[in-house]
A and B are shown apart, each in its own frame.
Chain A
Amino acid sequence: MFEVFGVPSQALFGQLLLGLINGSFYALLSLGLAVIFGMLNIINFTHGAQYMMGAFAAFLLLRHTGIGYWPSLVIVPIVIGAVGAGIERVFLKRIQKLDHLYGLILTFGLALIIEGLFRNYYGSSGQPYGVPESLQGGRNLGFMFLPNYRAWVIAFSFLVCLATWYAIERTRLGSYLRAATENPALVRAFGINVPRMVTLTYGFGVGLAGLAGVMAAPIYNVSPQMGSDIIIVVFAVVVIGGMGSIMGAIVTGFTLGIVEGLTKVFFPEASNTVIFMIMIIVLLIRPAGLFGRMA
């Protein structure tokens, strides 16, 4: 086969595919953040901790009730989403009128509490969670061996992202949401329960994080740190994409995953800083982000 910059094309395509997998997680998580930010104007620092809770919930369901992966995919996002709605009701509603930076500090504090509690009970080493039976094994694509589970991750994330985008941009409920972001008072005057919508939106965004957590459990180490490790990268993704649009968050997530994958091939030592470097460049050239609108 041909070579690109000294790397055989097989390895290249293999890494691109793997980059898509990472990108799936970035896309899911930045989608959740974008949805929450769009509605509440809060940066949900707790997002990483909620992703971690999703993974742990899947693990606990399996360990204590024997409920496996497939039911967890449905149950866990709902449970974590409900926890999120609770957080919104109890904490975030109270600081709605304040400067948004307080929201950042508050969610940061919540993230510390959640991570600390899980660390206390489960230690830092990580818990085992296997790939579900039906998705084990893989197929040899010629240029690489692709585990079935990873293929599933790409496909399912893509579906979820698309469905979310459709719900927000193309349905009536979505239009109410978007209207409430622009002018909550007016929307309320039309008889729509805006506070409840806000709660539900936050819950939905958090549910997305929980879903990402369940999907991550079989392949990444289920440990209390997994949230804080990934959340800062996702912040950078969101800054690059610009938080104005849902589609922007999705596209940026997948793309940056691929870019990171390519870096791992050509320049592996820089692979965990490349996203930050891109962030700096984007900020210098186009401060609003690639898809954003200047606030």
Chain B
Amino acid sequence: MRVATSLALVAAALFGTAAQAQVNVKIGVMNDMSGLYADISGPGALTAAKLAVDDFNPAAHGMKVEIVGADHQNKPDVGSNIARQWFDVDKVDVIVDVPTSSVALAVSDVTREKNKVFLVSGAAASDLTGPKCSPNTIHWTYDTWMLAHGTGTALVKTGGDTWYFLTADYAFGHALERDTAAVVTAAGGKVLGTVKHPLNTQDFSSFLLQAQSSKAKVIGLANAGGDTINAIKQGAEFGITAGGQQFAGLLVFVTDVNSLGLKTAQGLVLTETWYWDMNDANRAWTKRWQAERQGKFPSMVHAGVYSAVLHYLKAVAATKSAADGKAVVNQMKALPTEDSLFGKGSIRPDGRKIHPAYLFQVKKPEESKYPGDVYTVRATILAEEAFRPIKDGNCPMVTN
């Protein structure tokens, strides 16, 4: 490690003095290209990264940037293998995206070991800026604390003060339920009960039955992907929303809404940090993105990849080298962020990127005027409030 740092310093010194020397950067976009998260992340993230590189204009900064992609298939062993190979053999400097928290945690470990950079856009685990924080990792876009806090507080404030949880019985589901329950109770609500279902449950009828008989105003879905979709779909069958109860999707993406169709998903309340149709800048960027991805719409994960890559390149331009991961990350934390998608923001010492979050509600079918028109903005959560306060995170880098 020390050898690498001193070499980097020497290189920086040499290259710094030579005004025309070129800095080569290789960016690795790793995510789920073919499975559950292929639509919210997948090849669209590669497109987003390319747009960021184009907008940065490497030639003007004396840099040359290359992008490679890989599919981690949502498996931590595949992800950590690819990361190792990328860093050891293929000379990749930074890994971007990585949805699925278990993979992100594994990649974060490898990145720290090799002193490179890891920019997380797709994964949710708030542990990445908590107990597992790292000087080589920055967590962009969103995390579980923000989701729990955003949806939970907003719903309690609008009258949803009694909750019943449908929780996927594994670490992620438990964490999501725990975080949201804490938020709900703190905001003055009450948790009436909870039921745990096995991961990848096909049939939610019995669990929904229990949720229905609890008479809670809000049914919190502490699960993701296929489980959330199944629960909502079958909930419609059992007349849950017709009976006056509301579903809160704690981890729902715009692609899940499309899977469900507006007829089933209407009224669902969720939190995200970016939506393509919110303002002109977003719409313009979406058009550019769609040139490569016809018929699809970008998600907040894609926007996060764009924002992260852009800021990274700016930092590398300042440090004049991509070799020392820690140094680049420190530079990224020192520079305030600014881009057309997230506006002005900053990165905290624990690696958490700060920006506002938004509470969305899914439109009724008759309210949707054109393809992709699925959300109404219900509330804006300011950047300072959206994410977990740094003192509550237990990040070893900060508590020292």
Contact = CB atoms under 8 A, between A and B. Distances in A.
Contacts of B182: none
B38 A131 contact: no
Interface string A134-145: 000010000011
A14 B207 CA distance: 11
Given A123-B34, A123-B38, A144-B209, A220 B202 contact: yes
A128 B206 contact: no
Interface stretch (B47-55, B130-138, B225-233, B344-352): B225-233
A269 B196 contact: yes
A154 interface: no
B207 A264 contact: yes
B295 interface: no
A18 B237 CA distance: 13
B39 to A, nearest CB: 6
Contact of A125 (B39, B202, B238, B261): B39
A130 interface: yes
Contacts of A126: 226, 229, 259
A226 B202 contact: yes
Nearest to A147: B237
Contact of A268 (B197, B202, B238, B256): B197
A49 to B, nearest CB: 16
Interface in A150-171: 150
B261 A128 contact: yes
Contacts of B259: 125-128
A223 B229 CA distance: 11
Contacts of A75: none
Contacts of A22: 203
Contact of A221 (B38, B226, B239): B226
Interface string B166-207: 000100000000000000000000000001111011110111
A272 B229 CA distance: 19
Chain B interface, DSSP helix/strand/loop, else mixed: helix
Contacts of B198: 269, 271-272
A229 B39 CA distance: 22
Interface residues of B, number: 37
A125 B256 contact: yes
Contacts of B244: none
Given A124-B36, A138-B239, A147-B238, A18 B226 contact: no
Contacts of B207: 264, 268
Contacts of A124: 34-36, 38, 226
B223 interface: no
A265 B205 CA distance: 11
Nearest to B262: A128
Interface in A1-46: 10-11, 14-15, 18-19, 21-22
Interface in B236-283: 237-239, 255-256, 259-261, 263-264
B73 to A, nearest CB: 11
A131 B237 contact: yes
B213 interface: yes
Given A119-B35, A123-B39, A269-B169, A221 B203 contact: no
Contacts of B31: none
Interface string A219-259: 11101011001100000000000000000000000000000
Contacts of A138: 237-239
Given A15-B206, A147-B238, A128 B260 contact: yes
30 contacts: A11-B210, A15-B209, A18-B206, A21-B203, A123-B34, A124-B38, A124-B226, A125-B229, A125-B256, A125-B259, A128-B260, A128-B264, A130-B263, A138-B238, A138-B239, A144-B209, A145-B239, A149-B237, A150-B237, A219-B237, A220-B202, A223-B226, A229-B202, A268-B195, A268-B206, A269-B169, A269-B196, A271-B197, A271-B198, A272-B198
Given A10-B213, A18-B203, A123-B34, 13 more contacts: A18-B205, A21-B203, A119-B35, A128-B261, A138-B239, A144-B209, A145-B238, A145-B239, A220-B203, A221-B233, A268-B196, A271-B198, A272-B198
In the A-B complex, the 7 residue pairs with the closest CB atoms: A128-B261, A272-B198, A264-B206, A18-B205, A124-B36, A124-B35, A147-B237
